[in-house]
Structure 1
């Protein structure tokens, strides 16, 4: 991996504040915050491998692969123990980065998880029935199975990204979240239908040093309600 493989934006000076974007998003999702927080921090936002203008995936990445890639990006960009704001998929990566770190090493100083992903739903009978139906349809009509059961997000992906996506969404991170040692704050949108309030509450409860705050908005509440999000972030980072 080379520095040229990482598309990033950097502004300001001082303590590092890093932004980790969601799935099918990019560093540009955080542009207003980069401008604002660059007055106090050295802010950095980059595109994950396979997204935005960073290098495309050459093989299907798991969450652990993305965590290792991001750790190398930190090294190349000279980032060490930053504050962090992570959204959705970015929360998965941050959690896994800490999980694979050497014992006793904290990757982040403080971190905000917003719309956090990483909790697999409980295996209800409805879920098991849906899986059986999917497998039955896929056996005889694979194209129909993808249209019927695959999400719009999934259908938009390239073949290698589809394989990566399956690895990502099928990994439950509860065990890793429970071992996440840095101070953390979950900021959840009150109308978030992608990662629900129940998931955010469980996320915060599992985190050893986690808190929870609600602001008005959906899955992108940080952008929809930037004023309240920024205020909460400033209070948390201190």
Structure 2
């Protein structure tokens, strides 16, 4: 896969992958990852859609955001990037922090979003989980990037899981640590930013996670889906946080069903 780059109107460089033609499908990765982390989805949906996978700020060849950006800054950046790429209405799917950005995009820029998919997203963390994620954010800010910490949570012991783990470890080792730390800080503090806004999202909303994801739990997914007027929760059994890589066929099937939800029905408030 070959990254493309583009300068935004404010001079910031963004990097992205783009393949295929048709209704746009925008893919937003998680903290420490990259556009390539959507490889199985890009290969599948480029046959039917214009697929755009963005590198979030400070990842890949995308420039850092200035200062100490919050989740809303990443949302605003994504909207600017999509408009510069000539997008009007898009289907947006985000993973982990990308899920938080996707939700924010649907809330703050509803004119851009046709459908919303939040994969392995977080929602109203417990106090204990909040302390743990904020501690990791602080460690990253000090330059301590122990990649075994997330890898141990994200992958099981099967051959397929271990193969995906090797690829993800490669991406975590090459990430810009400053960009990683900035994004993780926004991620650690971002789970409540749009948590009350789900009732305002009238787009078809897929909320997907895996049964073994300890931080993006099935309970969170079901709560988000219940709060969304057109929400549907999907839980993939036997997998963990990087389910789009470890169970690509199941994830692609769920995304395909979501993309098939008629928008006219959505506007009438009908549940898929």
> Are the structure 2 counterparts of residues 38 and 163 from structure 1 closer, same or farther at C-alpha, using a change threshold of 3 Å?
closer
RMSD of aligned alpha carbons: 2.7
Cα pair 2:117 2:208 within 8 Å, conserved? yes
1:137 corresponding residue in structure 2: none
Gaps of 5+ in 2: 1-5, 146-175, 261-272
1:108 corresponding residue in structure 2: 113
> Are the structure 2 counterparts of residues 224 and 68 from structure 1 closer, same or farther at C-alpha, using a change threshold of 3 Å?
same
1:166 corresponding residue in structure 2: 185
State the TM-score, normalizing by the size of structure 2.
0.71
1:193 and 1:229 mapped to 2: Cα distance? 18
1:230 and 1:15 mapped to 2: Cα distance? 16
1:181 corresponding residue in structure 2: 202
Secondary structure at the counterpart of residue 109 of structure 1: strand
1:217-232 superposed matches below 5 A: 217-232=239-254
> Are the structure 2 counterparts of residues 215 and 150 from structure 1 closer, same or farther at C-alpha, using a change threshold of 3 Å?
closer
Shift of 1:100: 2.1
Residue correspondences, number: 215
1:140 corresponding residue in structure 2: none
Secondary structure at the counterpart of residue 44 of structure 1: strand
1:218 and 1:45 mapped to 2: Cα distance? 22
State the TM-score, normalizing by the size of structure 1.
0.80
Cα pair 1:174 1:206 within 8 Å, conserved? no
> Are the structure 2 counterparts of residues 237 and 193 from structure 1 closer, same or farther at C-alpha, using a change threshold of 3 Å?
same
2:210 and 2:65 mapped to 1: Cα distance? 31
Higher radius of gyration, 1 or 2: 1
Shift of 1:92: 0.8
Deviations 1:149-190 (A, max 9, x none): 436766438567646533442230311233222110111111
Secondary structure at the counterpart of residue 201 of structure 2: coil
Cα pair 2:200 2:228 within 8 Å, conserved? yes
